[in-house]
A and B are shown apart, each in its own frame.
Chain A
């Protein structure tokens, strides 16, 4: 057995140990098991990275999972360039967040349970990214969804938390419905669900059509779009984005790990993994690009007016995920994965800083009730500030390089919607900078607006929390340096390492623009970022009375944004309530009760009526019986003779 198989199974072992022995024996030592396991996975992941950098691709089966007729699938692992980047992102973030949780969850009654779930999550996520076939991908996919359900609903005594967990799971099932059908079509087409034969044969079927539900459709478009349904759910894109903001009910380390850095990016990973299929369908790519672009704008506008610290970051995540899809949709898969990787650092950092703030504020989330925290929490302030600069695309920081790469690829690529999504992306870059710094200014600057009691308790978080912040901060600054565009790289003598590294799996489309154009695009994206920060400074530091006045003057717009375009209300109105109404009033009330039961109960009463009628001919008179008998015999004889 290959030792890389241990990468997912170490955390699985930690889960089993914690769930079986945590409650009674391990208790407040539960974190040791989980941390050691995930750190072990990290070491192995680094070894895998070295291996892949050395030019190896690892692909092996562990055992046959399912075998039925012509259908065979294994538990098996594929470690190539794409996998290894995901491995590094997942194990690094997971390890740091495990450590952070020791401080954050200290004293919680479900301490062992929390670490058990984190381990189970890490296992599932690793199974997802390491799969060498679609079904194991689906296994990890549902597994991370389950852990998300557990962890969102971690404080299960709260109705809102258990609602949010359930919602996340069910909304994701809508996406998985399409994903599952996609796997069926893959199997029916290729006779296998392993990546390798599927991707190598896809090219030969570029023009094939498939009869789907009676319609002849372009095969690759069909497969790509069905798989993309799964991505839309998992990565919270329109129209299935509704679960992610509610997912903030979970403990903050969970928001950082699952709902920012890793799980929600699985959708992007799926598209990148299936790039050989997506690349064969212009329609599918266009759908991906537009879904991403529209979602990123949509979520960013909502983020402008929210007051809940974590929800602002959640909408920011939805928006940035949209960015990644935008990149994939214009064929720049590497740029999408590059952004996934830098985003993991600065977004996890933003969440952990938010957790640090909550820790100090006694669980308070309303940024309108904060202010001036920089005085009390210097480390949290500095790291969060740097993360915000990073997401706003300030040159030199991680977010700048990946964001710039996406915008340039959109602008210069071959996609028919490229220019359009570039324009949206640029607008979103402005909005992102604005809401990120609105958050910074309201939280850390100005006057403290909370209660006297809260102010009294303000303090910097313990070392186990601030050290992961600082480590992630290094990533938020430097993670992008592996992807410095040639435009700059040529001058300082570095390559775009990540693009070269990923080229064998994801390809690397060349932009058609000139250096001058590239420079202009870059300068525009820097300018809008600075403008966003400047506007936030103006509105929340220089003229703090302005936002309220604006909200009043534009109250209709403000209400729509504040209520997230009323999408939740819409779904409740068109899906949830009708389903329950039909169940109660039609299926139970009419079909079961009035129709089926009426027949069922009607038959016996009909028989009863018939037999009481029959009883009347039992008169007890001999001559009656004789007459009937004679008639019967006559009829039988008649039949016999006439045949």
Chain B
């Protein structure tokens, strides 16, 4: 029997987190569409309520165990043995918090920039939030799959309805790309279901051993779904289009949460369910990660569009994440998970920032900017913080993540570590060049007289600034959530034996 922790909260907190946004969406549905103010207020209040509720997870989480917590389990479709089964561990809990925080910021940033179909927009946003939380909480594979697919629809709408000029192309591309991957995953799930004796219970599936060949096939089936989401090289080309065309809130959710789900999938499913295949496929995964880091970085050097540049930088940064994950050691994994969070915070902040200035200028072309620091000094200060976090400067969160990943990566495979480390040079190159072209040099007439950030925009960005420094200066708050779960995962992947925790070669040499 699978062991879990009882829900100590006394009420079904995870279900409430998932369905509170849905309730909010239902309320908005009942509102008059002309009453935009009420629609926005309801969205904001529901967002805040969900976030406050999720803070209880942060404070009540038991950091001493790898077991699932806040567990809820109910029969759902007994004939197929599908259950409504929720729970969180140290790998997933932080992403629920990230999702609830980002949703508030998305509501705030869309306050004035969404001018058509406001009602539908905020409904989509809230439905999206519920589905995202559901993905991170699901412990039943079928339930997971349902949430996973459910996210696609509001995201598709966000891009396709409120996006830029080329939005339909981007939305369809996004949809098809991810759908193809998901279908392969579904096949994989069904294969597991039958092999393990008709169960979708993820924790139960993890207790079984699967033949190596089957693991390999399933690994690639899952890979199709997860790699597209990450996105890993070479299945990344939907991302620049989707990001560029999506409205600000869409880009932020995409960057902050959605693409984390690919990496989360590897952590939650591929690695514990298919440990032997994961180990065997490490060289390929590391190679693809390193390619993504360098390829994504160099491509940024030639971008002329603000959002496209940040989108490609995501490819590079997510390369770091997958590198850390497949380093299969403590530093790599913890760095990778932390970097998922970091990337959500930093890239989310960058897209929010681009949205702020786009609302004023309606252009994403880098060459249309210049000298913005003279006209918007506060905005420039905030943007430099995000830029520096993005290039991994110490005291920002980016440094902690990248350092642990590179340390883990170097330990696992020196070539991977060395090549990936070159990414920090390229990253500094494109980000500082971007910053120079937008904020420094002579003031472009097109940006003359722009208003600096207003209070609403400032409030939107400040939480992210605080998180950047919090994680940069005292990362243990967040790392401590992961320790037992990561250790447990490593034990599973490395077949019981404790992993080589950064081997101390000293002892070997002295022998």
Which residues of A line the B interface, CB within 8 A? Answer: 19, 23, 63-71, 135, 138-139, 142-143, 146, 149, 153, 156-159, 161-163, 166, 169-170, 173-174, 176-177, 180-181, 184, 187-191, 201, 204-205, 208, 210, 212-214, 579-580, 582-584, 587-588, 591-592, 595-597, 600, 603-604
Q: A177-B424, A212-B414 are in contact. Are A600 and B301 (CB under 8 A)?
A: no
Q: How far is the CA of A153 from the CA of B440 in the complex (A)?
A: 9
Q: Which residues of B contact A (CB under 8 A)?
A: 173, 176-177, 180, 234-238, 295, 298-302, 329-331, 334-335, 371, 373-374, 377, 381, 388, 393-395, 399-400, 403-404, 406-407, 410-411, 414-415, 417-418, 421-422, 424-426, 428-429, 432-433, 436, 439-443, 473-476, 479-480, 501-506, 509-510
Residues of B within 8 A of A580 (CB): 301-302
Check if B414 sits within 8 Å of A582, measured CB to CB. no
Task: Out of B177, B377, B399, B506, name the residue touching A23 (CB < 8 Å).
Answer: B377
Assess whether B421 is in contact with A584, with CB atoms less than 8 Å apart: no
Contact status B388-A146, CB under 8 Å? yes
- How far is it, in angstroms, between the C-alpha of A70 and the C-alpha of B373 when the chains are bound? 43
* Contact residues in A for B415 (Cβ distance below 8 Å): 213
Evaluate contact between A66 and B400: CB separation under 8 angstroms: yes
Provide the bound-state CA to CA distance between A435 and B503, in Å. Answer: 53
Given A23-B377, A68-B331, are A159 and B479 also a contact pair (CB < 8 Å)?
Answer: no
Q: How many angstroms between the C-alpha atoms of A6 and B172 in the bound complex?
A: 57
- Give the chain A neighbours of B418 by CB distance below 8 A: 181, 213
Further 12 A-B residue pairs, CB within 8 A, beyond A142-B394, A166-B433: A66-B403, A66-B476, A68-B330, A69-B331, A138-B394, A139-B395, A166-B432, A173-B428, A191-B502, A583-B301, A596-B235, A604-B176
Q: For A64, what are the chain B residues with a Cβ–Cβ distance below 8 Å?
A: 476
Which of A68, A187, A188 is B335 in contact with, Cβ under 8 Å? A68
Contact A66 B377 (CB under 8 A): no
Q: Which residue of B lies closest to A141 (CB)?
A: B394
Known: A180-B421, A190-B506. A600 touches B298 (CB 8 A): no
A138: chain B residues at CB < 8 Å are 394
Please tell me which one of the listed residues B238, B395, B479 contacts residue A68 in the complex, with CB atoms under 8 A apart. B479
B123 CB to nearest A CB, Å: 30
Contact partners of A213 in chain B: CB under 8 A:
414-415, 418
For the complex, what is the distance from the CA of A212 to the CA of B413, rounded to whole Å? 10
Q: How far is the CA of A84 from the CA of B473 in the complex (A)?
A: 25
A583 with B298: CB separation less than 8 A: yes
- A70 neighbours in B (Cβ, 8 Å): 330, 501-502, 504
Would B414 and A583 count as touching, CB distance under 8 A?
no
14 contacts across the A-B interface (CB closer than 8 A):
A23-B377, A66-B476, A70-B504, A146-B393, A177-B421, A177-B425, A180-B421, A208-B509, A213-B418, A580-B301, A580-B302, A583-B298, A583-B302, A596-B237
What is the CB-to-nearest-CB distance from A642 to chain B, in angstroms, rounded to a whole number?
24
Q: A170-B425, A177-B424, A213-B414 are in contact. Are A189 and B443 (CB under 8 A)?
A: no
A162-B436 in contact (CB<8A): yes
Q: Which residues of B contact A184 (CB under 8 A)?
A: 406-407, 410-411, 417
Select which of A69, A161, A595 is within 8 A of B334 by beta carbon. Answer: A69
Bound Cα distance from A592 to B301, whole angstroms: 15
In the complex, the answer to whether A579 meets B428 with C-beta atoms within 8 Å is no
Q: Indicate whether A187 sits within 8 Å of B407 (C-beta atoms), given known contacts A143-B394, A177-B421, A597-B237.
A: yes
Shortest 10 CB-CB distances between A and B: which pairs?
A: A69-B330, A583-B302, A162-B440, A191-B504, A139-B394, A156-B440, A584-B302, A70-B501, A583-B301, A69-B501
CA A292 to CA B344, docked complex, whole Å: 44
Closest to B400 in A: A66
Please tell me if the beta carbons of B299 and A583 are within 8 angstroms of each other in the complex: yes
A583 to chain B, nearest CB (A): 4
- Contacts A180-B406, A579-B298, A597-B237; A163 near B421 (Cβ below 8 A): no
Say yes or no: B404 contacts A71, CB within 8 Å.
yes
Residues of B within 8 A of A173 (CB): 424-425, 428
A188 touches B411 (CB 8 A): yes
